Structure 1
């Protein structure tokens, strides 16, 4: 009888051990599928994230929804010891013009506890103020990107967060490593719909493309409040007119008296319309893993007054 009890006890203990090991593996796998990245929202509406390059060099990187590679500024590079450049190539910036850029093929990038091996990086002249470079959604390929501006946390996961049920879902198009959604503009008596590039690297609210600007005579139909010079990441200077857009509709979300910019007289240089950080920060945002949808929910910044032009 004693032998039988010992065998049963042994079997029970063995079963419990297997169950504990399995449970821990499931928890570990679930944890590995989701990780959080704290960020700072800068005064220029950029998402700034602390990173480590090659285990040695610390740098603040801007999360840039329209970027397709890791880039570092010339100034940031000058302060680093771990980089080795293999050559240079010609690249094109969104502001126009071709520029020579050095590249480094094989680097280790660490953000929080997450590491990426064999990462190539490129040299740029500029990034968002207070940051030494930028990276884009390609780092999180095949994963959901949850940007919570209330908590200042970006969460990366394999599954759609349950809270997405409370968000408004918009169809998106991911083309040439850039993410677009459709939004409608109220201009005079018209409501005009067009695709906008989601551009977290642009500090402003809205920037219209040249074709839309000229076809709809925005300089005549919108109230102009100022003019301003912009520089892209390679130093190309662009003069933008600032105006007030009566209303912008993003799904069921309506924003009134929205600051908008455009380049008067330019033809074909600004090829796409942009929604920038001044608007994006007003929503908590989830980008789908396949980049075919964007989920929006107004947050605590939604009714924040727009800055004076």
Structure 2
């Protein structure tokens, strides 16, 4: 592997379009008009299987990125990359500093039956840039524009598949319940014009369509437009992680989010701190993002070639919007050895009549199971007030052993109704401890001095 000394500054939020001389390849579907690929939907994020240079990986399908990024290569020793040069990437985050990466050219990429024999990949070696711990499943990277530019992409959130269609072969069906929106592509990212109602009036907004964020809506605070939390109904929180660090801000609600005839009420919204989104605010007329918690309520037809997107509401449309009412942020922080009971049956013989009977013997086995730990606590939250601490490892929740649960399932407990009792069994410095608290209205939490 030979590294050149060329330095290139890339801003993921305003990535300049590459000229043809860079030789970036296209995806093709040899001998097929379309292809369907199943995905996992984890915390509102679409995770698709990708083969990169013969190695099977998982990537987030992210309309908010212009170039594919590989960031988790811990268990991919067989992955070979070549034709590399050192670059620097900058994205969201309070630190705002660029991070070092490698740009690798001429990679073979396969998604379903779609192949690209000349794929650029940006490789990050910073271990802190990793979605795996937060999602509880292996995620190795993110991909967006490079896939959407070559196909008309159907995204079916209910059946959990994407369908790649050759544009020249695709025929739109008549759909009376659909709404079609114009897309504007800027720096290879899609924007849509919608409306929000914070107080009493509908406010036109231009939002990035961001399938790589699990939130509902991000709005950039602008007092002149009325884009700010209504009546100070908000709480301060961690709202995400970017390439340049953590993103914090205010979480609130808006009265309505309107997309032509589609209207959603009491919608969660985040107002990120301006220090974390400096580059994003430089994009003219952008007011924020619409993301997974909204998008999953529709099935989509994304057509970059014709600059349009078609939405049809699905069975998720009326799902209420919930916040994490516990204040706990969990991550999968490795594995723990678990002792499990196992009953085994075998044939035995009874009394003088030599009656055959089945006898049960108890055995124990030891196995590695996921370990989940608290990595952040919201100030003034129910969990913090009862004494839970960052670093506490969860052993059980409401009587359920956490090593038997997926991370997403555990987090669902924290989005339950106000007043719901939560009982946690945790381990701290080798000591097992019990805690309990009731979920509270997040907008009534009082910050501690």
* TM band (smaller chain): 0.7 to 0.9
Name 1:286's counterpart in structure 2: 301
Aligned: 1:308 with 2:323: yes
Partner of 1:162, secondary structure, is coil
Partner of 2:73, secondary structure, is helix
User: 1:256 pairs with 255, 265, 273, which one?
Assistant: 265
Q: TM-score, normalised by structure 2?
A: 0.57
User: Does the 8 A contact of 1:228 with 1:242 survive in 2?
Assistant: no
Aligned equivalents of 1:163, 1:65: Cα separation in 2: 26
User: 1:83 pairs with 80, 83, 89, which one?
Assistant: 80
Partner of 1:218, secondary structure, is coil
Give 1:266 deviation, angstroms.
4.5
- Render the CA deviation track for 1:40-86: whole Å, top value 9, x for unaligned: 111x211011111112x21111110111222111x325523232252
Aligned equivalents of 1:207, 1:120: Cα separation in 2: 30
Q: TM-score, normalised by structure 1?
A: 0.81
Aligned equivalents of 2:322, 2:232: Cα separation in 1: 18
User: Does the 8 A contact of 2:238 with 2:249 survive in 1?
Assistant: yes
Question: Relative to 1, partners in 2 of residues 1:292 and 1:276: Cα closer, same or farther, differing over 3 Å?
Answer: same
Partner of 1:278, secondary structure, is helix
Aligned equivalents of 2:237, 2:157: Cα separation in 1: 29
Ranked by relative contact order (alpha carbons within 8 Å, sequence separation 6 or more), the top structure is 1
User: Does the 8 A contact of 1:164 with 1:286 survive in 2?
Assistant: no
- Render the CA deviation track for 1:241-275: whole Å, top value 9, x for unaligned: 10011100012100000000013565962424011
Question: Relative to 1, partners in 2 of residues 1:189 and 1:76: Cα closer, same or farther, differing over 3 Å?
Answer: same
Question: Relative to 1, partners in 2 of residues 1:220 and 1:258: Cα closer, same or farther, differing over 3 Å?
Answer: closer
User: Does the 8 A contact of 1:222 with 1:244 survive in 2?
Assistant: no
Q: Unaligned 5+ residue runs, structure 1?
A: 1-28
Name 1:11's counterpart in structure 2: none
Partner of 1:32, secondary structure, is coil
Name 1:107's counterpart in structure 2: 107
Question: Relative to 1, partners in 2 of residues 1:284 and 1:82: Cα closer, same or farther, differing over 3 Å?
Answer: same
Aligned length: 276
Name 1:174's counterpart in structure 2: 185
User: Does the 8 A contact of 1:147 with 1:155 survive in 2?
Assistant: yes
- Render the CA deviation track for 1:84-128: whole Å, top value 9, x for unaligned: 252210222144442221121121111222221111101232347
Name 1:299's counterpart in structure 2: 314
Aligned: 1:138 with 2:152: no
Aligned equivalents of 1:223, 1:119: Cα separation in 2: 46
Question: Relative to 1, partners in 2 of residues 1:80 and 1:226: Cα closer, same or farther, differing over 3 Å?
Answer: same
Partner of 2:203, secondary structure, is strand
- Render the CA deviation track for 1:188-241: whole Å, top value 9, x for unaligned: 12210010000011110000124x367526135462145225221x25122111
Question: Relative to 1, partners in 2 of residues 1:30 and 1:228: Cα closer, same or farther, differing over 3 Å?
Answer: closer
Aligned equivalents of 1:282, 1:148: Cα separation in 2: 10
Aligned equivalents of 1:117, 1:164: Cα separation in 2: 36
Aligned equivalents of 1:168, 1:201: Cα separation in 2: 22
Question: Relative to 1, partners in 2 of residues 1:274 and 1:103: Cα closer, same or farther, differing over 3 Å?
Answer: same
Question: Relative to 1, partners in 2 of residues 1:262 and 1:140: Cα closer, same or farther, differing over 3 Å?
Answer: closer
Name 1:67's counterpart in structure 2: 65
Which has the higher mean CA deviation after the structures are superposed, 96-105 or 248-257?
96-105
Aligned equivalents of 1:268, 1:149: Cα separation in 2: 28
Name 2:45's counterpart in structure 1: 46
Q: Unaligned 5+ residue runs, structure 2?
A: 1-28, 325-449
Give 1:165 deviation, angstroms.
5.2
Question: Relative to 1, partners in 2 of residues 1:229 and 1:255: Cα closer, same or farther, differing over 3 Å?
Answer: closer
User: Does the 8 A contact of 2:98 with 2:244 survive in 1?
Assistant: no
Aligned equivalents of 2:224, 2:250: Cα separation in 1: 13
